[in-house]
Each structure stands twice: as C-alpha cells, then as structure tokens.
Chains A and B, each alone.
Chain A
Amino acid sequence: MALNRRSFLGAALAAGAAVSAPAVLGQGRPKVVVIGGGAGGATAARYIAKDSAGAIDVTLVEPTRTYFTCFFSNLYIGGFRELSSIAHSYGTLASDYGINVVHDWAVGVDRDTKTVTLASGHSLAYDRLVVAPGIDFVDESVPGWDLNAQIKMPHAWKAGSQTQLLKYQVEAMPEGGTFCMVAPPNPFRCPPGPYERVSMIAHVLKAQNPTAKILIVDPKEKFSKQALFEEGWQRHYSGMIDRIGPDFGGGNAEVRPDAMEVVIDGAVEKVDVCNVIPAQKAGHIAHLAGLADSSGFCPIVPATMQSRMDENIHVLGDACIAGDMPKSGFSANSQAKVAAMAVRAALTGSRAFPAKYSNTCWSLIETDDGVKVGASYQPTEEKIAKVDGFISQTGEDAALRKATYEESLGWYAGIAMDIFG
C-alpha cells in the first residue's frame, strides 16, 4: 500500500514537472509552505505530504542543496564519521513524496496576504505556514566576535564548511598548543553539544598532540550531563581539559580574532584555535515574520505547535520556545509530527490525536563510551511539560556504554530516514 501511494505521488510529480505548473494538478488543493529543511522542517514536509497522500500541496524552502546535520557533526570532528555520512539531499522528498523543494532563501512573510517572499523575488501563497529556520546568533554576545570573524574563530554551530574548518584547525594545532571554546549561555541548540565537542577534540589531541590543552570558557554554572562528561574527561583525558565557569570569569570573555587572544575577566590568554559559540536566537526569518518575543525565540501553543502570534503558522525546532524540551534534532523531529497532524486536521479534516513529544540525546565521550539523556513530554495550557525522563549513570560498565554508542548509530540511521525519506 505504501508503495502504491509512493508511486502515485512520483507520477503526479513527474506530470506536474512536465508542464512546470503544479497548479494544473494542484487546483484547489490547500497549500502548505515549510521554511527550513532541517530536522523540524523536512520532517513536517514529509509527514504532511506522506499522510495526506497528495491532498495537500507541500512546498519546502531550503537554501542549501546539501544539508549537514548538526547531530553527529562532533563525531566527524573526532574522526568517527565521514563528513559525507552526515550530508543529506532533498531528492527523495521531491521524487517519492511529491514535495516541491525550492532552494532559495525566504526573506519575508506577509501574514495578511499569507505569502512568503523569496530572495529570487518569487512569492509563495500558503494556507498554513511551517517556520523551522533553526538558530541565528545574537550580535555582540561575545565581544570582539561577529560573523566576519568566523574563519579565524569558527562557531561550527551550523554544520558543514564551518565544522570542516574547525576540524582542520584542530588537526593543525602546534604541539602543546591551546584549544579554547567559548561556550554559549542558555538557551542554545544541543545542550550537551559543546561538551561532546570538547570530548571529540580531546580524543583527536590525545592521539596526535598529547601535550595540547583544552580551555572551556563557560558562562553557565552547570551543563547537560555534567557528571558524566566530567567523569569521562577524568578517565580518558586526565589533565587536558580545564573549564572556567562563571565564578572565575567564564561569563566575562572577550575575543581578539586577529591576535588569536581570549580575554577572560581581564586576563589575556594566547590560544591556537578558538571555537566561539555565541548566544542564540530564532532564525532571522522568524523575527522578520514577527513570530519571536523579547526572548529572541517564538512562543507556541503546546498542543499544536501553532505560533502564539498567528494561528496559521506553526513554529518548530530550535526557533520555538518548547517549554521543558531541549533544542535538539530529536525534539524538532518530534514537534514536526505533532504539527503535521495539526496541519492536516485543519486543512483536510483528518483525525487529530493528542500530542505526544519525546527527546533523547546521545553523546560520545571517547571510543565506545556513549551516554544518553532523554525525556517524554506532554502539552499543558502554558507549556510543553516533562512527564518522565532518564539519564545514563556514572560508573556504568564498558559493555553498556558501548551498547549506548551503538544504539546512537542506529538512531542516526533511523532519524535520517524519518527526516529525509
């Protein structure tokens, strides 16, 4: 049955492409536009197209033709994955699901006429809009750093060329040199991410440059999976990693990209590689569309992921305020399924079921030493609230940690299939 539906959609797409006018087939079909082709947006587009079986005209707007997942990009830095293994294209979403994939930037949303303007000058009409642009950086959150400095001091918090650059810089560090990470304040994309990244860089340095040092400048008192990471760092990378928290000036850092210096509470440190992960806000288009509040992120209705600002718009993933859920690819994927169901119910009258959300984040500390944290969530009136959760324990045996890592490989394969088809 799935095969039949797929081949029907493929044929419909081919016919539509032949006359280059989707309106011929799509006459009267409700229109959904999705901005952003990451874990949130691509999942939403796929589920709306798949489950409506052609009844909804879905357009996905994503500027890049090849999408690199942020999740597992640290494993690429550590040498555990090839960059190509975290690269995905949109071919299957177009060919098997009949989604119109438009590689362009969305530069404006007119909520009154319900149209999205693209950088090319074209515009797209919608009945429902899904906004999933991920994050952008807060200007001047790290004094001395702006996007012009991203070659000298990469952020690598959007995966792809930035991740590659950071990996090369780490591998080219002088013997006994210093790697510095300026960690972000809450809330930010992938809470365990900075600390997994430090683990992966320590893994590389331990083998190639064992006298090198890692310095984390951190404005936060505590961080995700802290006990697990600190136990792992002690066990695998003893003496290599130093973290300066807010009590010692970690919240008062300035960078000088040209001089490769970091100024921590007035003290100048010379560094060889500096990874600056600035403070974050919802992707720019969410602000242009007037969907964000003073926090920089977008408030949503917990049961449907609809924007609190506009009932015809759903905001997903890192850009939204998801209550107790962390900003992660797993969360965005989970939210997308709720939004897809709500969109279909609104446009085609399909059955609506109660929203359920969940998240699990795996992190790799060293070869075969994986840990995880996760929780389930449900909507309340005011927020998405945690129901239940779990976390790996310190002192677990090696077989369990290895199994946890192997499980994460299975998860990656599963979620990639679930997002990109």
Chain B
Amino acid sequence: MIHALRLMGERGVTGLALCLAFGAQAQEAPRAVPIGDVARGAEVWVFCSGCHQIGAGAENGIGPHLNRIFGRRAASVPEFPYSRSMQRAGRDQLIWTLETLDAYLENPKALVSGTRMSFEGLPDPEERADLLAYLRDFSASPANIPEAAPTARALVPALAPEVLAIAGDTAYGEYLSSECKTCHQSDGSDEGIPSIVLWPEEDFVLAMHAYKQKLRPHPVMQMMAGRLSDEEIAALAAYFGKLGL
C-alpha cells in the first residue's frame, strides 16, 4: 500500500478514495506497458479531427493544432484565441501531461471550467488511453511520459460513483462557503477571481476533486480543496449550486 501511494504520488494522484479503491491491485509492482493502442487511437481521433489538426503541416483551426502537445503549457500555441479559463490555467502552469490530458479528455469542464472545447468527454478509459497513445506519436519530446505505469492511472476512475452520489448538506455548505467568500463573490462577480455560483453540482464536485488531486494547477485552490472531505465538497457544491435562486 505504501508502495502504491508513493507511485501514485509521483503521478500526482493522491486522492484517498482512489488509493483505497486501488489497494487490492497495488500489491504487484507495475510493469512498463504501452499507454494504449495507437491504431485504435487513430479511430478515436475522428471525435477530434473536426476541430483539431495534427501531423505535418497542421495548423490552428477551430481548435489549436495538437503537435507536440505533451509537455506543452496550456494555452501556449501562439495566436490561438483561447478562452479566458484556458488562459488562466496556462498562467497557473497547467502542463499537458499524460495525467492532465487524461483528466481533460474525460471531462473537459472539470479541469478547465470555461473551456470553449465543446466536447462532452470520453468516459471510457481505454478509448482515452488509445487516443493519448495516438497523440503522443506527434509529440517530439515524449521524455516527460513515464514509461512505467501510465496505463494503471488510466484504468482507475478519478472518482468513485459513490463519491459523486453524496447528497450535500446545504447548511454545512453554507458554513464552509464562508471561507470561499473571502475571495469568490457570492453574487457571481468575476474580477480576477472566477465565479463559483450556480454550477451544476457534479461539475463543482469534479473540479474540487481535480484541485484536491492536484490535477488542476492553482496553489490556493489545491490547498483549500486539499483539506476538504468528500462530504464537505458535496456540501459546498449543494450550497453554491443553488445560491441566490
């Protein structure tokens, strides 16, 4: 278990629920395995190719080109008009790695709330792994990709369904929210600090867990989310989700 925690920590995944769920498999040392199947990934790419180009001569279109995406900072392709949310993620040093790309592909808005990528996400971890293997082939410097273990990460859901199913205690959420309101305004104003009111509860929960697992990059939010329990995150989601209605 300790071994598993250390390995997962290296990959930036520290969620307790995840560690517990994963405990049974963690006795065996992971071996190096391919990220996914490149040929199947090329088939998954059809979801992306309407907006993105990749390979020789790829240019920005509706979405930015995806050559050398691995190791690239979010919102860093010159002259592409990224959303404010993606620009913020880039300034906060969100780097596209196997883990962050996987989280983004699973649910784009959970990682970057205001992204303009109108794609609902790929729930199937194998499809994501195959697509990532395909994308990786177009990255010139894949040295940042750990050769061992990446498939293990992709096979474990970021959040157990029972965590998503927790009904939030709104009264508790109201108390906890007082800490958020030091910076985030309850009327939804967005001046340098984004609005957090009236989010769909599941998006809120996913976003907070993404901070807690340090997938989302902002240090203040990583700290704030880091000490919240699953119940407390659900309570906040319930409270802010209906604030002012």
**Within B204-231, which residues are at the interface with A (CB < 8 Å)?**
219-220, 222-224, 226-227
A155 located at the interface, meaning its Cβ lies under 8 Å from any Cβ of chain B in the complex = no
A414 touches B185 (CB 8 A): yes
Interface-side segment among A295-303, A316-324, A351-359: A351-359
A418 touches B182 (CB 8 A): yes
B93 located at the interface, meaning its Cβ lies under 8 Å from any Cβ of chain A in the complex = yes
- How far in angstroms is the closest Cβ of chain B from A334? 7
- How far in angstroms is the closest Cβ of chain B from A40? 13
B191 touches A353 (CB 8 A): no
B193 touches A358 (CB 8 A): no
| Chain A residues with a Cβ under 8 A of chain B | 2, 47, 51, 330, 333-334, 337, 341, 351, 353, 356, 358, 360, 372, 374-376, 378, 387-390, 399-400, 402-403, 406-411, 413-415, 417-418
Which 7 pairs of residues, A with B, have the shortest CB-CB distance? Answer: A410-B192, A410-B193, A390-B219, A406-B192, A337-B178, A403-B91, A410-B191
> Given A403-B88, A403-B92, is A388 in contact with B226 using a C-beta cutoff of 8 Å?
yes
List the A side residues contacting B244 at CB < 8 Å: 2
List the A side residues contacting B187 at CB < 8 Å: 417
Complex: how many Å from CA A358 to CA B181?
12
List the A side residues contacting B178 at CB < 8 Å: 47, 337, 418
A388, A389, A402 interface centre (most CB from chain B within 10 Å):
A388
Complex: how many Å from CA A406 to CA B183?
12
List the B side residues contacting A411 at CB < 8 Å: 182-183, 192-193
> Given A2-B244, A356-B176, is A413 in contact with B226 using a C-beta cutoff of 8 Å?
no
B227 touches A388 (CB 8 A): yes
B189 touches A337 (CB 8 A): no
- Closest B residue to A350 by beta carbon equals B171
- Closest B residue to A418 by beta carbon equals B181
A410 touches B227 (CB 8 A): no
List the A side residues contacting B181 at CB < 8 Å: 414, 417-418
B182 touches A330 (CB 8 A): yes
**Within B180-198, which residues are at the interface with A (CB < 8 Å)?**
181-187, 189-193
B93 touches A400 (CB 8 A): yes
List the A side residues contacting B222 at CB < 8 Å: 390
B192 touches A408 (CB 8 A): yes
- Closest B residue to A389 by beta carbon equals B223
- How far in angstroms is the closest Cβ of chain A from B161? 27
List the A side residues contacting B10 at CB < 8 Å: none
- How far in angstroms is the closest Cβ of chain B from A335? 11
B175 located at the interface, meaning its Cβ lies under 8 Å from any Cβ of chain A in the complex = yes
Complex: how many Å from CA A414 to CA B177?
13
> Given A2-B244, A337-B178, A389-B223, is A413 in contact with B172 using a C-beta cutoff of 8 Å?
no
Can you report 18 residue pairs joining A to B where beta carbons are below 8 Å apart? A47-B178, A337-B179, A358-B179, A360-B183, A372-B220, A376-B223, A376-B226, A387-B227, A402-B91, A403-B88, A407-B192, A407-B193, A411-B182, A411-B193, A413-B185, A414-B181, A414-B185, A415-B182
- Closest A residue to B90 by beta carbon equals A399
> Given A400-B93, A414-B183, is A390 in contact with B171 using a C-beta cutoff of 8 Å?
no
Q: Compute the total of residue contacts between A and B using a CB distance below 8 Å.
A: 88
List the B side residues contacting A407 at CB < 8 Å: 192-193
List the A side residues contacting B176 at CB < 8 Å: 353, 356
List 10 extra interface pairs beyond A334-B179, A389-B223, A390-B223, CB under 8 A.
A330-B182, A334-B182, A353-B175, A353-B176, A400-B91, A408-B192, A410-B190, A411-B192, A414-B185, A417-B187
A390 touches B172 (CB 8 A): no
Complex: how many Å from CA A47 to CA B182?
12
A375 touches B93 (CB 8 A): no
- How far in angstroms is the closest Cβ of chain A from B134? 31
List the A side residues contacting B171 at CB < 8 Å: 351
Our pick among A51, A351, A376 for the contact of B227 (Cβ within 8 Å) is A376
Complex: how many Å from CA A408 to CA B182?
11
List the B side residues contacting A372 at CB < 8 Å: 220
List the A side residues contacting B175 at CB < 8 Å: 337, 341, 351, 353
Complex: how many Å from CA A390 to CA B225?
13
Our pick among A51, A375, A402, A417 for the contact of B185 (Cβ within 8 Å) is A417
- Closest A residue to B242 by beta carbon equals A1
- How far in angstroms is the closest Cβ of chain A from B181? 5
- How far in angstroms is the closest Cβ of chain B from A155? 27
A388 touches B223 (CB 8 A): yes
Complex: how many Å from CA A419 to CA B176?
16
**A-contact bits for B154-182, CB 8 A (1 contact / 0 none):** 00000000000000000110111011011
List the A side residues contacting B172 at CB < 8 Å: 351, 353
List the A side residues contacting B92 at CB < 8 Å: 400, 403
Complex: how many Å from CA A49 to CA B147?
58
Complex: how many Å from CA A387 to CA B191?
28
> Given A356-B176, A403-B91, A414-B182, is A409 in contact with B220 using a C-beta cutoff of 8 Å?
no
List the A side residues contacting B186 at CB < 8 Å: 417
Complex: how many Å from CA A64 to CA B171?
35
List the A side residues contacting B182 at CB < 8 Å: 330, 333-334, 358, 411, 414-415, 418
- How far in angstroms is the closest Cβ of chain B from A70? 16
